Structure 1
Amino acid sequence: MDIDPSLIPCPNFDSPGFASLRNSIIADPNTPNVTTNEEASQNLREAWEADNQAQRLDYQTRAQEREEQENEVQRQREAEDKQKEDELKKRDLELAQEREKKRVPLYDFQQGQGLASLPLLLHPYAQKKMANRDYVELWYFTPEAFKEADRDRSTVESNRFELATSNDSQALTLLGTHSTRPSTKVKPDEDLSWADVQRAKSAFLGALPTGGYPAKFVQMFASFYANLDMHAELRKVGGERVMALYHAKMRRAWFMENKQQRPFDLAVVVNEILQECRDEIRDLDHKKALQDLSTATSLLHRHPGAPSANAPGTPSARRAFPQPLRKSHRANPYPPPKRSDSPSQPPTDFQRSFREADQPRLPRCHRCLCRDKHDVRRCSRSEIWNGKRKPMCDWNGNKRLEFSSGIHKGLEVCANWQ
């Protein structure tokens, strides 16, 4: 152990323990001046003090070197700690900067100025389409679409993934739930009612700035809806269906033509296209009327003892026999008779009674769609009542009406009715 020499006391050289050492110094010829015990003790003290002083100097030198080494180690440790602290602060600063980049920036605001109206929470798919100025169904601007977007917003903005199938169901794709995809509840514009158009048009006009549309185009879309709202067609029977169909066709056509670099003024109401929409609605009503008639005559055929559906004061065939159509009945009490497509088979009582019925009772000719009185069993007119096109039905070799065009070409309208 390294001991400080200054702390070591000087021995008592006058004690009996050092007598032999004192005698040796007295007898030593190298110390002729030492002749007594006192002189010998003094000589020993001087020698010890000289040696102790040398040890003190050596101890102080080594202590100073040791202190300098410790100070150097301390300085190195402090430098390393400072470097680590600086690196930690730098990393925290970088992380803070990265977090700040991901955050929504804060902008200055004017105190005392509130919000005029709540912003539109568009469906992500509609927002993407509007930003790209692509066609998007008007359903995405209805309250139902806004509710779906608000309900699914947390899922849409998450970072989770899910499996999705391709259109041909042949491949699987890993998609993030944050990706914008069409809604499964979307309706095409042709299936929207006029009331749906009225509810969605304001939201659609409000979303136009998302695509950066110039004021001229925004005014065009606004005039388009204003002209439809004030059109005289809405005051006619079935006019709302016609206007809803016209809206769907024209809005889709504008986006298609705009992609082809052939845009037109959507605000101009084209009467020719409006007439086509009227004809299309009328054809749909005609087909539905034929289907209803086929259902009614089928019910009459299944119940030959029931009163005629055309007799005055009797309920319609659909209401006259509701019970056999209910699923709660286990068996049909009126089994239909066996049919035969042979033209030589004699007509049934129902067919004979129908052919002998008074013509004014028939609401409309099923061939020319005319309500005037004429022989509907042998109608040979070449055009329908308004002269716009040829009849959809014509007489076949068995003198029965069959479809002459369309997907039902060659099928008889109703064999038992004739």
Structure 2
Amino acid sequence: MALVTDPTLKVIPDFAGNAYAGIRMDLQAATNQTEEEVMTRLSDTWNADHNTRIAEWNQDQEAEARVLAEVERARITQEDAECAQHEAEAERERLEAEKKKPKMNSFDKASSIGDYLTPRPAQYAIQKLTNFEYVELWYFSPEGCRDALKSSRLIAENDLSITRTDDQLMLRPTSVFKALKAAIVDHELSFSIFLQAKNLFLIQISKAKWPWPHIDALSLFFWHLENHSIQNNSNIGDMVILTYASCVHQDWHDRLKRDEGFNIGNVNENLICTINEELWDKVRSRTLNIVCP
């Protein structure tokens, strides 16, 4: 039976006091011992019993501590198991969400655009072949933003279309799926508008959480073109840069979709020279037509 009182708190009784005088006399008469011997015997007996109780108390405390420790271990094990289960469920949910999230293919950082570009089909055909959308920089120009705001004000509230997002059907304005009629291709922009538009474009792709390697590569692409020396050495330098930017940017999107991505930040000087020669040929041809009608 477990002890309920800590025996270490008890002190030995005063066997020499008056309270034990009768017991001492009885023990003297029964054992023919002196009073001193009787008190010694009483003390020894009490101490022996006291030590036994302390030993039992310590054993009970150790046993109780072991039980409590086992209960605590069981509690921690259960909590760890529940935590692991919750983490596993959260990880499964994250993986499921990751599967549904659109992916953008990577590219070889050591690669570059080729010296020649494959002719492109119509934009409508490109959009049918790929889910990776290319958008003209005009949409990020001041004029493009003004036109978008003007168009949004003209949309009727009941002009809606059904679209699927993450396995859910949603109603969205039809204008989301229509190109603005005023949009123009990149190489027909003025160079100043091109520079303004690319800044907002880079901000928007960052907000859209594009992969940082792609954002960095595009930032470097625009920086190289903005500071290219051909603008100082050619009367058509701006047009060369705009043509290169337009063609290479579109080709980069197509290559990424086919998992043939190249580092758009690596400018191909041979291609710039080719474009420069082609544009000069057009200038010379127009000049000859004017001189020799």
Higher radius of gyration, 1 or 2: 1
Higher helix share: 2
Which TM-score bucket, shorter chain as reference?
A: 0.3 to 0.5
TM-score of the two chains, using structure 1 as the length reference: 0.34
TM-score of the two chains, using structure 2 as the length reference: 0.48
Structure number with greater CO (CA < 8 Å, separation at least 6) is 2
